[in-house]
Structure 1
Amino acid sequence: MSDNVAHALAGAGGGIISMAVTYPLITVGTRLQVQRNNKDATAYTGNMDALRKIFANEGIAGLFSGLESAIFGAAVTNGVYYYFFEAVKSAFERASQRKSMSTVESMVSGAVAGAMTCIITNPIWVVNTRLTVKQKKIKQDGDTTDETPSTLKAFAEIIKEDGVLSLWQGLIPALILVINPIIQYTAFEQLKNKVERVRKLGSLDFFVLGAISKLCATSVTYPYILIKSRMQLKQSKNENERYSSLMDGLRKVIASEGIAGLYKGIESKLLQSVLTASFLFMSKEALFSYAVKLLIILGARKSIAGKA
């Protein structure tokens, strides 16, 4: 068996670790992204205000609402992404007889891996977005008999109420957002190649390179991230709050909330994205050798000594 599976397992483990560490920032960012009425008494005025209100009204559990689906989503997303990225990368390296990819090859690898990941995992993130927002609505309604549904229950409710295809709401923005990992992984691979020419990389190097590459990617693509989050919610009957397409969403946000509306929650998103990428790259590299050993123990991979 090739190293693709080991990379996938290590990526899944790294995704779980990075998601668990940074999840409160995801909660804050998501709620700011989907907030349309800034004048409501319960509206969040910024990241710290959102953090304070969520903690005051919902407790620590509110900051982790939807964590179950997010961890599952992170594991699957990163596992799928790394499997396809490494598969395409290996194909390029075999064809070119080089040990590193060019910038174009990095971009193609990221595009293929990102597209496959979006199609396979979009239902997970639709469920997660709705669970993250639903907790706030339950607290606002004051109905103590209601509770945030489990991931499986939320999954079933979405299919029952909106149909199976609703699980792929926001897929077009998500596919366009493949440019995010393209930028991220291309920047990471090229920076890594430059550093490796000088010295061997350590855990801190992977942390810093992951942070720099994700900062570049998220800064460029944030408006699309916001529209994708809103399209993944149950669509409103209000025409101004229902987006028929990516361009329709961009137009309506600018019309009702101004250009600044496209960047709601960007501070927490940037912090979360950078920290997530940093912990992901660092932990993924650390877990890779353990993933290889696990596959060897399971008999799914030959030992290094036994490889040709």
Structure 2
Amino acid sequence: MSDSAIHSVAGAAGGIVAMTVTYPLIFLSTRAAVETKKESKSTYQAVLDIIMREGIAGLYSGLNSSLLGIAITNGVYYYFYERSRETILRARSGTKALSTLESMSIGLIAGSATTVISNPIWVIQTSQAVRTLSSDSAQPVVVKKLGFIETVQNILAKGGLPAFWRGLGPALILVINPIIQYTAFEQLKNFLVARRTNKLRAAGAAAAVAVLSDWDFFLLGALSKLAATSATYPYIVVKSRLQAGSANALKYKSSFDGLLTILKEEGIEGLYKGIGSKIIQSVLIAAILFAGQRRIFEMTKKVLQPIVVKQ
């Protein structure tokens, strides 16, 4: 098995772990982003309202499709990212560190491929997450929750096959999110490794090269995702509304028109609905993913190594 394939499997596994731990936060941010009412609720109040109306299980509506989505998204992304990275590194000699331009180019290739392939899964997840969203939180929920297959059938019945690519426009624009994330991660990692290596060599270890810890990967993953999510959140709102099949959102002429419409009708705060829980969730999932993916990759390599040697 090639390193890029192992990275793909490790990324999928790490994503599943991270999504399971943080799912209630992405559920809350998705609902807040789709909600068009001007009332604002704290995360605590939103949690209480959902538990009162739908029980604890309500916080996990759409988890099954999210786990499938994150596995596909991360698996495809890591495969294309590592494959492209290997190609670039093989084409030149010298340093193994990627430049900013190389990191951005690799992120663009991997992000675009991942977005097109995984968009149907996120349409299903968003539809499940907002299905029981009520216009009046005081009223009992009467809308039946749908499972994965039922949601697929419902989307097909209402919009046909093209409905699974709702929100693809802003989703492709949001390819800039992982570009910012992985570029920031690579450059922060390069800076940290170079700085620590210089310290080691200055102390007398002439051939030493610094190795980052799991904690380093956790912090670098968190910082890079914080920068990416903060910069792109308004487009996340537009994408969520389109993927949910919101009647207002389907009238948007373009992603930019969606931004202008939300700004006009709901003010600047409309572009940042749910950003609190989204940032917490994004930072946590990225931190867990970067640390977990690296560890799973190393463990898988160790397991496969004896097999390769015997062959």
Q: Mark yes or no: TM-score above 0.5.
A: yes
Q: Confirm or deny: 8 A CA contact 1:65 1:135 kept in the other structure.
A: no
Aligned match of 2:124 in 124, 127, 132?
127
Q: In the alignment, is residue 260 of structure 1 matched against residue 260 of structure 2? A: no
Q: Which residue of 1 aligns with 2:109?
A: 112
Q: In the alignment, is residue 272 of structure 1 matched against residue 281 of structure 2? A: yes
Per the TM alignment, residue 2 of structure 1 is displaced from its structure 2 partner at its CA by: 2.0
CA offsets 1:110-165 (integer angstroms, 9 cap, x no match): 11000000000000000000100113349967466x53111122112211220101
Give the distance between the partners of 1:296 and 1:262, measured in 2 at CA: 49
Give the distance between the partners of 1:291 and 1:221, measured in 2 at CA: 34
Give the distance between the partners of 1:255 and 1:143, measured in 2 at CA: 31
Give the distance between the partners of 2:84 and 2:189, measured in 1 at CA: 18
Q: Confirm or deny: 8 A CA contact 2:34 2:246 kept in the other structure.
A: no
Q: Which residue of 2 aligns with 1:200?
A: 211
RMSD over aligned Cα, in angstroms?
2.1
Q: Closer, same or farther in 2 for the Cα pair 1:290/1:156, shift >3 Å?
A: farther
Range with greater deviation from structure 2 (193-202 or 116-125) = 193-202
Q: In the alignment, is residue 190 of structure 1 matched against residue 158 of structure 2? A: no
State the AA in 1 paired with 2:20.
A
Q: How many aligned positions are there?
A: 295
Q: Closer, same or farther in 2 for the Cα pair 1:18/1:258, shift >3 Å?
A: same
Alignment of 1:82-231 (within 5 A): 82-97=78-93, 98-137=95-134, 142=140, 147-197=144-194, 198=196, 199-231=210-242
Q: Which residue of 2 aligns with 1:6?
A: 6
What TM-score, normalized by structure 2, do the two folds share? 0.89
State the AA in 2 paired with 1:221.
T
Give the distance between the partners of 1:53 and 1:18, measured in 2 at CA: 25
Q: Which residue of 2 aligns with 1:77?
A: 73
Where in structure 1 are there 5+ consecutive unaligned residues?
Answer: none
Per the TM alignment, residue 26 of structure 1 is displaced from its structure 2 partner at its CA by: 0.6
Give the distance between the partners of 1:69 and 1:94, measured in 2 at CA: 37
Identity among equivalent positions (%) equals 47
CA offsets 1:194-233 (integer angstroms, 9 cap, x no match): 2223131111101100000000001100000000000112
Give the distance between the partners of 1:203 and 1:170, measured in 2 at CA: 35
Q: Which residue of 1 aligns with 2:20?
A: 20
Alignment of 1:60-71 (within 5 A): 60-71=56-67
CA offsets 1:159-203 (integer angstroms, 9 cap, x no match): 122010110010010000000000000010111112223131111
Q: Confirm or deny: 8 A CA contact 2:166 2:245 kept in the other structure.
A: no
